[in-house]
Chains A and B, each alone.
Chain A
């Protein structure tokens, strides 16, 4: 078996191959270092469960659960993504150049999800450490019960942002239609400007961190006292 870095790039046309064939190739020990998928035409569950430092490019619009459970890999979608993009991502990078449907980055534990367009409802729902940077707007109930990680929104946020929030941090440049229960505006201190600058840089988005407002948990809804933070 050739070392990953030396394996030649491969292109798979989804009008000629099935989703299962592509996903089996990506999961195999013979997976190419770089793979391009063409003509996805809204197919579901593409490039799911990756567990190696692969570079996957998808040229076109994808369906549900694209790049779910991603670990180590870098997945770029040149198009729009359906429900559950990068759901439960562990590490690596997932980027979509268009819009993402509801529940993008849901329950993600780590890695970076970049949505260059808009994200629909429930973006980052129950996020557990993932970083999400959205170039446009996000829909309602985003970051609901977000436990850890950062959500950056360069546009506007929909209703009930950060409802029942734990310790995820939210940065919004535009307006917020309404804050969810226990989500409050918080001051931007130096460390927040620094981490926001790093996140925007990592996402390749040239926004000014000084234009953002930070939101976080008021910590009145859950049984957690900040004095005990070191115990968690």
Chain B
């Protein structure tokens, strides 16, 4: 099954409520994916302060404070480490390439699950609502957030298998469904030099989109290319530092509903996740059409 929620805020007055709204949305879809969950927040001033880049890790072999001290010494700038077990957040006033490279050395064996200037990714296993509380998601602020509740079908229930898959700077992809031709696409991407972290089908979609974006395609073009290339069932929510996008496969059996107001754009697997958003009564509510790419820009 799996559940997807996403909220793209247009009204800055709502930024302080992002985490609270996203937590409530995620809680409504906990029973669509009770085994694990992940969340991505764009622009939280504690996790991803202005002028800092942020890297998030799973299963760091060193505690957050120790990792921050090592990175501070390595990079020569003050690095902050935050423990959100099993996720670790580090941020520093350097570019994300430098922070990512230093983190890979300082935390060998840890899985990098997010990096960029605005993005923090949190993942874990267990009840999604309990995870959101453990991560202090209700207190998060920012301008965009996405969440995923997972009912695993294609790979094991692990924090690494939780969505979102974030494999490019400030990029996230969450998926409801299952790809059917991802292994051949994965092999092709591997021949082109793409390195994978997991056996998960969704990671192939995320790597495909990241490669398209890295080669200069816009998000809409990248998702049209995904439609052309991937078979299977998918409702995808894809976000970047500038954009929020939704696409569904030709059959569109995996549900999706979008609500849009002047203050926000929201997407969820089911309406009940949207029912308590402020101003929902005046929202334009619709289901995305098959193979159409819907993109909103900041």
B83 within 8 A of A: no
Chain A residues touching B, range: 10 to 19
Check if A42 sits within 8 Å of B270, measured CB to CB. Answer: yes
Q: CB-CB contacts of B263-283 with A at 8 A, as 1s and 0s?
A: 000000011111110000000
What B residues does A212 contact at CB under 8 A?
A: none
Chain A residues in 8 Å Cβ range of B271: 42, 61, 63, 80, 82
* Majority DSSP secondary structure for residues of A touching B: loop
Give chain A interface residues in 62-93, CB to chain B under 8 Å. Answer: 63-64, 80, 82-83
A140 beta carbon closer than 8 Å to chain B: yes
Question: CA–CA, A42 to B271, complex, Å?
Answer: 6
Complex interface residues of chain B between 239 and 259 (CB less than 8 A to chain A): 252-253, 255, 257
A43 at interface by CB-CB < 8 Å: yes
B283 to chain A, nearest CB (A): 11
Residues from chain B with Cβ under 8 Å of A139 in the complex: 252, 289
Interface string of A37-52 (1 = CB under 8 A from B): 0000111100000000
Q: Interface size (B, Cβ < 8 Å)? A: 17
Q: Quick one: which of A44, A80, A101, A140 contacts B290, CB cutoff 8 A? A: A140
Contacts of A64 in B (CB 8 A): 270
Asked if B287 is an interface residue, CB under 8 A from chain A, the answer is yes
Contact A41 B287 (CB under 8 A): no
Chain B hits for A127, CB < 8 A = none
Within 8 A of B (CB), among A98-127: 99, 101-102, 120-121
| Cβ-defined contact, B270 with A63, below 8 A | yes
Interchain CB contact (< 8 A) of A63 among B253, B272, B285: B272
22 CB-based A-B contacts, threshold 8 Å:
A41-B272, A42-B28, A42-B270, A42-B274, A42-B275, A43-B272, A44-B272, A61-B271, A63-B272, A64-B270, A80-B271, A80-B285, A82-B255, A99-B285, A101-B287, A102-B252, A102-B255, A102-B287, A121-B252, A139-B252, A140-B252, A140-B290
**Considering the complex of A and B, which 5 residue pairs feature the smallest CB-CB distances, nearest first?**
A42-B272, A41-B275, A42-B271, A42-B275, A120-B287
